[in-house]
Amino acid sequence: MRRLAAAVAIAALALTGCTATPPAPSPTPMAITDAANLIGFWTVDDSFSDEESILRIDNDEIAEWSDCGVRTGQWNARGALIALLFTDSDVRCGDSVVASYLSSYSALFSSWRTATNTFNPVDADTYELIGKKGEVLATLTRGAKPPKSEGIDAGLYVTPIAAADATTRFASLPPLVSNGLPLAIRPGTYTPQGGDTITKITQLDTVPHVRFYENSFVGLDECGNAVNGVWSFEGSSILTLVSNESRSSCESMALYEWLSSAARVGETDPGLLLLDETGELVVKLDLDLEPGYSTVFVD
């Protein structure tokens, strides 16, 4: 009888082993250097002021809550490069219109909001935003929740989740076999090669050009429409973020497209080569030193 009971038990175990559903594999955790890890809510500790704010990073958009109000905009990343561009603001500070304007202007143009070039993971829940000179502009700490504000889209209070392709989209570029790439971009005013020819077929007396400053760029297309954005740079990789507001009804949007698709940069004398992710030439930009352009150089 004992032998029979044992045999029955063994058979039951065998059946159980055959019919049991194996546990689902755990998802592979992302490396902390993956920019997709930045998607979420963060407390921002500004290194150069006492200001503390809350930042929401979604797959394409950003929103910031501070004591003065809410800002929204866009962001992008490639490897360790990151670009932030705030394009809409509902910020009110101070008791007067002038005080409010000056406060919001200072906050927007003199801090991590436009000067961030790369990010550095301290740990899985702490990241530093780094400027072009290696300075820590701000520290992000995970887990904040923004205060409710009237007139703000309810969707901005939902915790964002990284899209399935986020890791691939934010990945570093593969290296290129090339020796002609620069270690720095010389800020100044650049015009697309053949700009004078382009001007001849337009009705406006303007040469399309783009002026690179230390952290941003502004330009005019061949229809006289402003193009603006921010850029980050490391090695031979360039990450540009062009404002959506730069889109226009101009039949040709060449300057917008050139800047939007730039992923690598090469240097000619005197000028720049903007290349796409594969290393194909997008456009050659000639450095223009004509006095009329008031070219600005940044040390």
Q: What is the pLDDT along the chain (299 residues), one digit of tens a residue?
A: 445 444 444 444 444 444 555 555 444 556 888 999 999 999 999 998 888 899 999 999 999 998 878 999 999 999 999 999 998 766 666 444 444 444 444 444 458 998 999 999 999 999 999 998 899 999 999 989 998 877 888 999 999 999 999 999 999 988 765 545 554 566 666 777 654 433 333 333 456 778 888 888 888 877 777 788 999 988 778 899 988 665 555 666 678 888 899 998 877 777 788 888 888 888 888 876 543 433 332 22
Please give the structure tokens belonging to residue 96. Answer: 């007067």
Amino acid at the residue 284: K
Ranges of each domain in the chain: 35-156, 188-293
Q: How far is CA 105 from the centre of its chain?
A: 20
How far is it, in rounded angstroms, from Cα 293 to Cα 291? Answer: 5
Q: What's residue 46's pLDDT? A: 93
Please give the structure tokens belonging to residue 199. Answer: 């001007």
How far is it, in rounded angstroms, from Cα 43 to Cα 65? Answer: 10
How far is it, in rounded angstroms, from Cα 167 to Cα 163? Answer: 8
Q: What's residue 263's pLDDT? A: 92
Q: What's residue 297's pLDDT? A: 29
Q: What is the dihedral of CA 84, 87, 93, 98, to 10 degrees?
A: 120
Q: What's residue 99's pLDDT? A: 43
Q: What's residue 199's pLDDT? A: 35
Q: What is the dihedral of CA 111, 117, 123, 125, to 10 degrees?
A: 50
Alpha-helix residue ranges (DSSP H) falling in the chain: 2-19, 97-109, 112-115, 166-169, 195-200, 254-261
For 35-72, give the DSSP string. GGGG-EEEEEEETTSS-EEEEEE-SSEEEEEETTEEEE
Q: What's residue 258's pLDDT? A: 86
Is the domain spanning 35-156 CATH 2.60.40? The answer is no
Query: 110: closest CA among 67, 157, 51?
Result: 51
Q: Note if the bond before 146 is cis, omega within 30 degrees.
A: no
Asked whether 131 and 234 are in contact (CB, 8 A), the reply is: no
Helix (H) or strand (E) holding 126, with range, is strand 126-130
Q: What's residue 121's pLDDT? A: 96
Q: What is the CATH number of domain 188-293?
A: 2.40.128.270
**Burial degree of 278 (CB within 10 A; 0-12, 13-18, 19+):** exposed
